[in-house]
Amino acid sequence: MLPTRSYLSACLSAVLLVGCASTPPAPTYQATQVPQCQWESTNGPERIRVRIQDAKTKKPLASVAVGVDSTILGAMSNSDGLASVNDVPPGEHALTTKLLGYRDAHLTRVVVREGFITDVGTILLYVAEIHLDRIDLYDGPSH
């Protein structure tokens, strides 16, 4: 029998932070907290930046797919758990993160402002529970 891992929901939402004069370190979000976006000016295209970590170990997670819902825009996190989705049009968006073996995380109300990088902060992903059916092995021909 294979052991199972705890199964937790990672449903997140982001809200608009008004009057952000400087760029302090982005906060870390648990499933029950309401995150706040931080912005920094850019001369390039608008984009969404995010850091992704394992909820238990707090280690960065690589190869996490980060997608902007209802678009074809997305990115993969690097070995430091950082992902940046480029050319995101200004407005309110939703993000989804996916990594095999982890629960998906959904962020809503992520506001992209024209001429700014939107830093969502750190998303904590929770290990998903995996159910496997029993497999019977027999030596010899099958009946």
Domain ranges of the chain: 10-19+27-125
Q: What is the dihedral of CA 58, 80, 39, 90, to 10 degrees?
A: -110
pLDDT at 36: 63
For the chain, what percent of residues have pLDDT higher than 70? 73
Residue 3 is predicted with a pLDDT of 32
The pTM score is 0.65
Computed on alpha carbons and rounded to an integer, the radius of gyration of the chain in Å comes to: 19
pLDDT digits (tens, 9 = 90+) for 19-75: 222 333 444 444 333 456 677 777 777 889 999 999 999 999 999 999 999 999 999
* Least confident residue range of 7-11, 27-31, 93-97, 110-114: 7-11
Domain 10-19+27-125, architecture per CATH: Sandwich (2.60)
Q: Is the predicted pLDDT of residue 86 greater than 60, yes or no?
A: yes
